[in-house]
Amino acid sequence: MKAFVSYSVTDNNEFILTMLSSKLREKNFIVTTSQNFYSTIIDYNTMSEIGTSNLFVGVITGNGTERNRVLEEWNYSIQRNVPNLLLIEDTVSVHQNFNDNYIRFNRNSPKAAIDEINRRMTPTQPATAKNSDDIVPWILGGAALLAIIGLLTSKDK
């Protein structure tokens, strides 16, 4: 299986990408990422990588400068019906009608986000076509998001 990772993090937080990749590799994913930084126009190679992925994981932190690119790539994953997850720090403003498959987290108080990820990773009802599509990315990538939140909220970095 293949996972595409898109991120907007500061240089001093890039270590989380190593952890994210490791967690995904533990689940037998081949991890790819965009090489098209500082542009919101998705290049052909990135479209191809996203389109052939089994999971899209996006991470947007408050001080990252690439959030528009991450959102464009995430929207492309939605258009291509790629199961997707988006982790957004609560210091990043989002449109009030933004209601897709994402989790907001607070570095100082991560419990609510951790609880929500755990809830979404655990199916509570028999699978239907709709909720099966909703649960797949959480089962595949939820543990990786938990690891990222743990790293971003660690006081002893």
Predicted confidence at residue 53, as pLDDT, reads 94
- DSSP, collapsed to helix, strand or coil, labels residue 88 as strand
Range(s) of the domain holding residue 64 = 2-153
Amino acid in position 82: V
Residues of 96-126 as b/e, b for ≥16 C-beta within 10 angstroms?
eeeeebebbbebeebeebbebbeebbeeeee
Predicted confidence at residue 122, as pLDDT, reads 78
Predicted confidence at residue 93, as pLDDT, reads 85
- Give φ, ψ of 86 to 5 degrees: -135, 125
Residues 112/86, Cβ–Cβ less than 8 Å: no
Using alpha carbons, select from 11, 9, 36 the residue that is nearest to residue 149. 9
Residue 142 Cα distances to 7, 17, 24, 117, 121, angstroms: 16, 15, 10, 6, 6
Distance of CA 68 to the CA centre of its chain: 14
d(CA 1, CA 55): 8
- Count: domains in the chain: 1
Predicted confidence at residue 129, as pLDDT, reads 42
d(CA 83, CA 13): 25
Q: Could you state, in chain order, the average pLDDT of each consecutive group of 10 residues for the chain (157 residues)?
A: 90 79 86 81 92 92 89 93 90 78 84 83 58 63 74 59
d(CA 83, CA 78): 7
Residue 149: CATH number of its domain: 3.40.50
Residues 19/148, Cβ–Cβ less than 8 Å: yes
